[in-house]
Amino acid sequence: MVPTTLPGFIRKKCNEFVRDFASRDTNKLPRALLHDGRWKESNEKLAEITDGILETLNDSWNNSAFSPEEAEVLNEGTYLTNLIVPAIRASLKNLPHGKFTYISTYERQSIASADRRKRSGRRPDIIFVMMDRGKKYELMYTECSRLFCTEQKIKDDAVKIWRETNDGMYWVYKGRRPEKDEFGIIGLQVAGSILRLTVLIRDEANVDRYYHLHESRIPVQKSEPAVVAKFIETLLILRNILIVNMSLLPHGSTPKSDRQKEDSTTVDSE
């Protein structure tokens, strides 16, 4: 049942991996970027990330769980584990300054929400976390439904993401003061077969504005090239926004006191 020995070439690969491993440079403060409508990475890097996302689609298109016969009864956990999480991981792979980031899945409690509510926090399906000066900041929240779900579930998740991004913004401004009108907290909603990208940004007047940026159909099964391209575009936009936000956070000023309370803010949805 168990092979007697591990092939020598496998041991060799492991030895070479450990020998050649190079930790990314994490001492250099990233240059502060701006949301100027441009891609922040080279065409070669965008192509590399696209290849990774397409590989996750290749896996799902060959997965019987996503066949027309099974898709209607597919539960949220299977959808999340086999398609959504791999696609997000592929789209956020090797981010600049990425050693200080990680993706938390499976409804881990939000530290931002717990702090703001002073009790048990909300539990998003996915959270993107960045470490800065020993503190964790939550820069993206994701809520996922089943592939076939009710309209009420979609509406409820949209409200949850809006609340989570508000919690995230509150938490960020307790520890840092990133540039207003630029830095934002991202919301990503998987609403059945639709992927929706939103962002909450605080403007110069201290008003939190919620923007619906982009949406696409999730190509769960083999789809037209235009559908695939739109899905890839949504994920690349997500990556691009995170790159800018990750560069802005360390450059933010520090509040005078960790106990300083935020001024009350108004939330405006656009």
* pTM listed for this prediction: 0.86
Task: Output the pLDDT for position 245.
Answer: 93
Q: Where are the domains of the chain?
A: 40-252
Query: In which band, very low, low, confident or very high, does the pLDDT at 24 lie, cut at 50, 70 and 90?
Result: low
In the prediction, which pLDDT does 29 show? 62
Q: First-to-last CA distance in the chain?
A: 60
Half-sphere CA count of 240, side-chain side, radius 13 A: 22
Q: What is the mean pLDDT of residues 240-266?
A: 72
40-252: CATH topology is tt1808, chain A (3.90.1570)
Instruction: Give pLDDT, residue 209.
Output: 93
pLDDT at 268: 56
122: pLDDT confidence band, cut at 50, 70 and 90? confident
Q: Could you tell me if 184 and 201 are in contact, meaning their C-beta atoms sit under 8 angstroms apart?
A: yes
Binning pLDDT at 50, 70 and 90, where does residue 179 land?
confident
Between 254 and 9, the higher pLDDT residue: 9
pLDDT score recorded for residue 100: 83
Tokens (6 digits) for 81: 């584990």
- CA-nearest of 186, 227, 195, 212 to 268 is 212
pLDDT of residue 113: 76
* Stronger pLDDT, 187 or 173, i.e. the higher one: 187
Tell me if 183 sits within 8 A of 128, measured CB to CB: no
CA dist 213 to 79, 187, 197, 256, Å? 24, 10, 6, 34
pLDDT at 144 over 80: yes
- For residue 261, the model assigns a pLDDT of 47
Q: pLDDT at residue 102 above 80?
A: yes
* Helices assigned H by DSSP within 22-179: 43-61, 68-71, 76-79, 85-91, 111-117, 151-175
Per-chain mean pLDDT for the chain: 87
| Residue 81, beta-bridge partner list | none
Residue 157 has pLDDT above 90, yes or no: yes
Q: Answer whether residue 255 shows pLDDT above 50.
A: yes
- Residue 159 confidence (pLDDT) above 90: yes
Give the pLDDT of residue 52.
Answer: 97
